[in-house]
Amino acid sequence: MSQQNEQLRVLIVRLGAMGDILHALPAVTALRQAHPKWYLGWAVEPRWSALLDGEVDRTHLVNAKEWARSPFKPETMREIGALRHALRVERYDLCIDLQGAVRSALAGRLAGAPRMIGEDRPREWAARWLFSERVATKGVHMIEQAVEVCEAAAGDRLPLVLPALPRNREAEVWAEELLRSGGRGPVVLLSPGAGWGAKRWPAERYGAVAANLHAQGCTLLVNSGPEEQEIAAEVVRASGGVARAPAFTLERLIAMTRRVCLVIAGDTGPLHLACALGKAVVGIYGPTDPKRNGPFGVPFRVLRHPESKRDHTRHAAPEAGLLTITPEQVADAAKELLQERAHETS
Please write the tens of the pLDDT for every residue from 40-50.
999 999 999 99
Question: Looking at the domain assignment, is residue 159 inside a domain?
Answer: no
Q: For residue 325, is pLDDT > 90?
A: yes
**CATH code of the domain covering residue 327:** 3.40.50.2000
Return the HEC string of 103-171.
HHHHHHHCCCCCEEEEECCCCCHHHHHHCCEEECCCCCCHHHHHHHHHHHHHCCCCCCCCCCCCCCHHH
User: Could you list the residue range(s) of the whole structural domain that residue 274 is in?
Assistant: 169-345
Give the rounded percent of residues in the chain with a pLDDT score beyond 70. 97
Q: What is the pLDDT of residues 102-154, one digit of tens each?
A: 999 999 999 999 999 999 999 999 999 999 999 999 999 999 999 999 999 99
Name the pLDDT band for 2 (thresholds 50, 70, 90).
very low
The residue from 154, 189, 207 where one domain ends is: 154
The residue from 119, 154, 189 where one domain ends is: 154
Q: For residue 225, is pLDDT > 50?
A: yes
Q: For residue 344, is pLDDT > 80?
A: no
Give the rounded percent of residues in the chain with a pLDDT score beyond 90. 86
Structure confidence at residue 346 (pLDDT): 59
Residues 142 and 196 in one domain: no
The residue from 111, 127, 154 where one domain ends is: 154
Number of domains in the chain: 2
Name the pLDDT band for 245 (thresholds 50, 70, 90).
very high
Quote the CA–CA distance of 45 and 32 in Å, as a whole number: 21
Residues 134 and 188 in one domain: no
Amino acid letter, residue 94 = L
Q: What is the mean pLDDT of residues 256-285?
A: 97
